[in-house]
Amino acid sequence: MAIPGHDRSPADPGLRAGRAPGARPLAGHLPVLYRSPLDFLGALPRHGDLVEVRIGRRPLFVLCHPDLVRRVLTDDRTYDREGPSYQRSRRAMGNGLATCPQAEHRTQRRLMQPAFRPDHLARYAAVMRRTIGEAVDGWRHGQRIDLGGELFALATKTAVRALFDAELPPAEGRELHEALDTFLKGIYRQTLLPWAAGLPTPGNRRYGRALAHGQAYTARLVEGRRAGAGTGGSGDVAKDVLSHLLSTRLPDGTPVAGDAVHDQCTALVLAGSETTASALAWSCHLLSRHHDVAEELYAEAHGVLGGRAAAQEDLPRLPLTGRVVTEALRLYPPAWLIPRVTTTETELAGRRLPVGSMVVFSPYVIHRRGDLYPEPGRFRPGRWAEEDVPADGPAADRNASLRAYAPFGLGAHRCIGESFALTEATLALATIAARWRLQAVPGAVVRPAARAVLAPERLPMYLYAR
């Protein structure tokens, strides 16, 4: 007998569409998405591979199967970066690579790609090593800190130094962190409650001030470089993203427009700070709860590094460190909600989707499927070891879990800074593990904050020198 709301499609054999239960009149699933979005999203695969959720009266379709994710994220003509959420992001962050629609993406990607070549990454890694070493040298034995805040300061200072060849004084860094935190909370609320965005509430006023602060900071970065001698900071050779943008000439011979430079830098300040800090914070949190893995990691890091900060050439000798970061990104992907909007009528899992339908990919949902990742809620870095990959799996594909892993997205829009982020997170985690033992504060509850980047609300931690 057919189940109401479930269909099967020849285009997606074996996949089914369904509806999430519990929608309230008028509000739909808004209350639960606001209060406990991860618990709600994590339960959706039991209702189908494509699950309809209600945002007020508007349907939203959540991709709960990796085949549908790959189909949507690799077809950016049908599933474009449009709709209210991206319009709001563009008003806040500009029309840069992180927010632009499909029609502009290839041109922008080509513009930005040279600044992320391997030779640039080697220079960035040298900056990472110096900044990481300075940060951990400043910690004290027995100190209690908000590790999330410390790691944000580290990631932001690293991004500003590496990508913009500039310094970030501590006071300015704290102000920027507060502004970005307020912005990320505010834009998540405004995406869920767009009708409330224009109300003169205290939260909206804080959001407006945070937005202005972040934009002003980017403007100072760009104008400070323009006022300097040459476009390359210490010289005229483009050695960072900002110098690349200011020295590049477009095919018609004109420089990159000022607003385009500002937009790209605004997104990089956010991506280079919050996302990397989030990956590091969750890695440290998980290690503090799994002492066996933490001791294995210490043995690896100490054996390779001794007392020095990690360098790029150490990465091949830090396989467990890399697996810890990989597993933390599986459990807590920073970009946990990725929306798309259909540009033409289409079909997924037997469900017809009209033009303008919102489709959402959540790595958090896919990364916790038990058929792809045994014991999906358990922190198991060993699952990423070559010898731990099963010989068979779903659809007899031993790489199913690897293909479903997408903390940086898929397709043409895959994050351009993926190598930058993974390099920094691995170098920082190895350096910390070799020098410090992290102990969770007894009784402290660590939970994800409901905002645009999935980070801990608070991460209180004791530090003990090794």
Binding residues: 415
* Distance linking the first and last C-alpha atoms of the chain: 63
- Residue 266 phi, psi dihedral angles, 5° rounding: -60, -45
Binding residues for heme: 415
284-308 CB burial, b ≥16 within 10 A, e <16: bbbbbebeebbebbbebbeebbeee
Q: Are 48 and 64 in contact (CB under 8 A)?
A: yes
Specify the amino acid at residue 162: A
H helices present in 235-389, as ranges = 241-247, 258-270, 276-289, 291-305, 319-331, 363-366
Q: Where are the beta strands (DSSP E) in 362-447?
A: 436-440
**CB neighbours of 250 closer than 8 A, spacing ≥ 6?**
256
Query: CB neighbours (10 Å) of residue 403?
Result: 15
Tokens found for residue 449? 């904050």
DSSP character string of 5-53 = T--B-SSSTT-BEEE-S-PBTTTBTHHHHHH-HHHHHHTGGGG-SEEEE
Distance from chain centroid for Cα 359: 19
- Residue 361 phi, psi dihedral angles, 5° rounding: -105, 130
- Residue 422 phi, psi dihedral angles, 5° rounding: -65, -40
**CB neighbours of 98 closer than 8 A, spacing ≥ 6?**
89, 267, 270, 271
- Residue 136 phi, psi dihedral angles, 5° rounding: -75, -25
Among all chains, which residue has been given the structure tokens 């549908």?
Answer: 68
- Give the dihedral of Cα atoms 465, 135, 173, 86; nearest 10 deg: -90
